[in-house]
Structure 1
Amino acid sequence: MSQQDKTFSLEIREDKIGVLTMDVPGETMNTLRAEFADEISDLMKEIKSNSDLQGLVLISGKKDSFVAGADVTMIDACETAADAEQLSLEGHRVMGELEALNIPVVAAIHGACLGGGLELALACHIRVCTESTKTALGVPEVMLGLLPGSGGTQRLPRLIGVAKSLDLMLTGKQIRAKQALKMGLVDEVVPETVLLEVAVKLAKKGKIKRELKRDLTGKLLETNKFGRNIMFDQAAKQTFSKTRGNYPAPEAILEVVKLGQEKGFEAGLKLEAKRFAELAMTSESACLRGIFFATTEMKKEDGVEGVAPKKVKKAIVLGGGLMGGGIANVTATKAKVPVRIKDIAPQGLLNAQKYTYDLLNKKVKRRFMSKAEMQSQLAMITGTTEYTGVKSADIVIEAVFEDLKLKHQMVADIEANCNENTIFASNTSSLPITQIASEAKRPENVIGLHYFSPVDKMPLAEIITHEGTSDQTISTTVEFARKQGKTPIVVKDGAGFYVNRILAPYMNEAARLVLEQEPIEAVDKALVDFGFPVGPVTLLDEVGIDVGAKIGPILTKELGSRFEAPAAFDKLLADDRKGRKNEKGFYLYGKKAKKGKKQVDESIYKLLNLKPEASMDPKALAERAVLLMLNEAARCLDEGILRSARDGDIGAIFGIGFPPFLGGPFHYMDSIGIAELVDKLERHQDKYGERFAPCESLKAMAKEGQKFYN
Structure 2
Amino acid sequence: MEDTNLNSDTAVSNNDVSAFALERQDNGIALLKIDVIDETMNVLKAAFINDISDVLKEIKADSSIKGLVVYSGKDNSFVAGADITMLDQCETAEQAVEIASSGQMIFNQIEQLNIPVVAAINGPCLGGGLELAMACHMRVCSDSNKTVLGLPEVQLGLLPGSGGTQRLPKLVGLQKSLDMMLTGKQLRPKQALKAGLISDVVPLSVLIDVATKMALAGKKKVKRKVGFVEKALESNSFGRKIVFDQATKTVLSKTKGNYPAPLKIIDSIRVGFEKGTARGLAAEAKHFGDLVQTPVSQQLRNLFFATTEMKKEMGVAGVEAAKVNKIGVLGGGLMGGGIAYVSSNNAKVPVRIKDINHDGISNALKYSFDILNKKVKRRFMQKCEMQKQMNTITGTTDYSGFKNVDMIIEAVFEDLALKQNMVADVEANCKDGVIFASNTSSLPIGQIAAKAAKPENVIGLHYFSPVDKMPLAEIIAHETTSDQTISTTVAFAKRQGKTPIVVKDKAGFYVNRILAPYVNEAASILLSGEPIEKIDKAFVKFGFPVGPIQLLDEVGIDIGAKISPILEAELGERFKAPEAFNKLIDDNRKGRKTKKGFYLYTGKKKGGKQVDESVYSLLNVTPASKLSENEITERCVFLLINEAVRCLDEGIIRNPRDGDIGSIFGIGFPPFLGGPFRYLDSLGAEHVIARLTEYQNKYGEHFKPCEALVAMAENKVTCY
Counterpart selection for 1:660 from 658, 671, 682: 671
Letter in 2 for 1:488: P
Asked if residue 636 in structure 1 is aligned to residue 655 in structure 2, the reply is no
Asked if residue 199 in structure 1 is aligned to residue 211 in structure 2, the reply is yes
Q: Counterpart in 2 of 1:707?
A: 718
The structural deviation recorded for 1:594 is: 2.0
Q: Counterpart in 2 of 1:278?
A: 290
Asked if residue 550 in structure 1 is aligned to residue 541 in structure 2, the reply is no
Equivalent pair of 1:585/1:601 in contact (CA under 8 Å): yes
Asked if residue 166 in structure 1 is aligned to residue 178 in structure 2, the reply is yes
CA shift digits 1:383-408 (9 cap, x unpaired): 22221232221111011111111111
Counterpart selection for 2:390 from 361, 378, 393: 378
Q: Counterpart in 2 of 1:244?
A: 256
Asked if residue 606 in structure 1 is aligned to residue 614 in structure 2, the reply is no
Please give the alpha-carbon distance, in whole angstroms, between the structure 2 residues aligned to 1:595 and 1:333: 32
Letter in 1 for 2:470: M
The structural deviation recorded for 1:373 is: 2.2
Q: Counterpart in 1 of 2:423?
A: 411
Written as runs of structure 1 = structure 2, the 5 A alignment for 1:51-130 is 51-130=63-142
Please give the alpha-carbon distance, in whole angstroms, between the structure 1 residues aligned to 2:606 and 2:123: 41
Asked if residue 509 in structure 1 is aligned to residue 509 in structure 2, the reply is no
Written as runs of structure 1 = structure 2, the 5 A alignment for 1:261-660 is 261-590=273-602, 592-594=603-605, 598-660=609-671
The structural deviation recorded for 1:469 is: 0.5
Letter in 1 for 2:187: I
Letter in 1 for 2:689: V
Equivalent pair of 2:473/2:499 in contact (CA under 8 Å): yes
Moved over 6 A (4+): none
Equivalent pair of 1:22/1:59 in contact (CA under 8 Å): yes
Letter in 2 for 1:44: L
Please give the alpha-carbon distance, in whole angstroms, between the structure 1 residues aligned to 2:443 and 2:221: 64
Equivalent pair of 2:196/2:222 in contact (CA under 8 Å): no
- Find the residue that maps to 2:231 and give its secondary structure: helix
Please give the alpha-carbon distance, in whole angstroms, between the structure 2 residues aligned to 1:201 and 1:224: 37
Q: Counterpart in 1 of 2:199?
A: 187
Equivalent pair of 2:493/2:499 in contact (CA under 8 Å): yes
CA shift digits 1:431-468 (9 cap, x unpaired): 11010000101100100000001000000000001000
Asked if residue 690 in structure 1 is aligned to residue 707 in structure 2, the reply is no
CA shift digits 1:540-598 (9 cap, x unpaired): 011111111111111111111111111111111121111111111111002x3426881
- Find the residue that maps to 2:149 and give its secondary structure: strand
- Find the residue that maps to 1:453 and give its secondary structure: coil
Letter in 2 for 1:607: L
Counterpart selection for 2:49 from 37, 52, 67: 37
Q: Counterpart in 1 of 2:680?
A: 669
Q: Counterpart in 1 of 2:269?
A: 257
Equivalent pair of 1:315/1:338 in contact (CA under 8 Å): yes
CA shift digits 1:109-130 (9 cap, x unpaired): 1110000010011000001101
Letter in 2 for 1:29: M
- Find the residue that maps to 1:20 and give its secondary structure: strand
- Find the residue that maps to 2:27 and give its secondary structure: coil
- Find the residue that maps to 1:56 and give its secondary structure: strand
Please give the alpha-carbon distance, in whole angstroms, between the structure 1 residues aligned to 2:114 and 2:607: 53
- Find the residue that maps to 1:189 and give its secondary structure: strand
Please give the alpha-carbon distance, in whole angstroms, between the structure 1 residues aligned to 2:133 and 2:298: 27
Please give the alpha-carbon distance, in whole angstroms, between the structure 1 residues aligned to 2:213 and 2:94: 43
- Find the residue that maps to 2:403 and give its secondary structure: helix
Please give the alpha-carbon distance, in whole angstroms, between the structure 2 residues aligned to 1:310 and 1:396: 14
Equivalent pair of 1:158/1:212 in contact (CA under 8 Å): no
- Find the residue that maps to 1:505 and give its secondary structure: helix
Equivalent pair of 2:124/2:148 in contact (CA under 8 Å): yes
Return 560-569 or 283-292, whichever deviates more: 560-569
TM-score normalised by the chain length of structure 2: 0.97
Return 381-390 or 43-52, whichever deviates more: 381-390
The structural deviation recorded for 1:199 is: 0.7
Equivalent pair of 1:160/1:213 in contact (CA under 8 Å): no
- Find the residue that maps to 2:186 and give its secondary structure: coil
Unaligned runs of at least 5 residues, structure 2 = 1-12
Cα root mean square deviation, aligned: 1.2
Equivalent pair of 2:110/2:135 in contact (CA under 8 Å): yes
Please give the alpha-carbon distance, in whole angstroms, between the structure 2 residues aligned to 1:607 and 1:693: 31
Return 491-500 or 211-220, whichever deviates more: 211-220
Equivalent pair of 2:198/2:222 in contact (CA under 8 Å): no
CA shift digits 1:641-687 (9 cap, x unpaired): 00000000000000000000000000000000011111111111011
Letter in 1 for 2:660: D
Equivalent pair of 1:593/1:599 in contact (CA under 8 Å): no
Equivalent pair of 2:138/2:221 in contact (CA under 8 Å): no
Please give the alpha-carbon distance, in whole angstroms, between the structure 1 residues aligned to 2:108 and 2:585: 65
Letter in 1 for 2:679: Y
TM-score normalised by the chain length of structure 1: 0.98
Q: Once the two structures are aligned, what percentage of the paired residues are identical?
A: 64
Return 195-204 or 1-10, whichever deviates more: 1-10
Please give the alpha-carbon distance, in whole angstroms, between the structure 1 residues aligned to 2:707 and 2:575: 18
Please give the alpha-carbon distance, in whole angstroms, between the structure 1 residues aligned to 2:398 and 2:553: 35
Counterpart selection for 2:692 from 671, 681, 684: 681
CA shift digits 1:64-102 (9 cap, x unpaired): 211000001011221111110110001001100100111
Please give the alpha-carbon distance, in whole angstroms, between the structure 1 residues aligned to 2:656 and 2:605: 43
Equivalent pair of 2:138/2:222 in contact (CA under 8 Å): no
Q: Counterpart in 1 of 2:5?
A: none
- Find the residue that maps to 2:70 and give its secondary structure: strand
Please give the alpha-carbon distance, in whole angstroms, between the structure 2 residues aligned to 1:444 and 1:597: 43
- Find the residue that maps to 2:141 and give its secondary structure: strand
CA shift digits 1:142-189 (9 cap, x unpaired): 000000000000000111111100100000111111111111011101
Letter in 2 for 1:616: L
Please give the alpha-carbon distance, in whole angstroms, between the structure 2 residues aligned to 1:204 and 1:511: 69
The structural deviation recorded for 1:192 is: 1.3
Return 597-606 or 629-638, whichever deviates more: 597-606
Asked if residue 28 in structure 1 is aligned to residue 28 in structure 2, the reply is no
Please give the alpha-carbon distance, in whole angstroms, between the structure 2 residues aligned to 1:184 and 1:492: 51
Equivalent pair of 2:24/2:31 in contact (CA under 8 Å): yes
The structural deviation recorded for 1:375 is: 2.3
Letter in 2 for 1:458: M
The structural deviation recorded for 1:211 is: 4.9
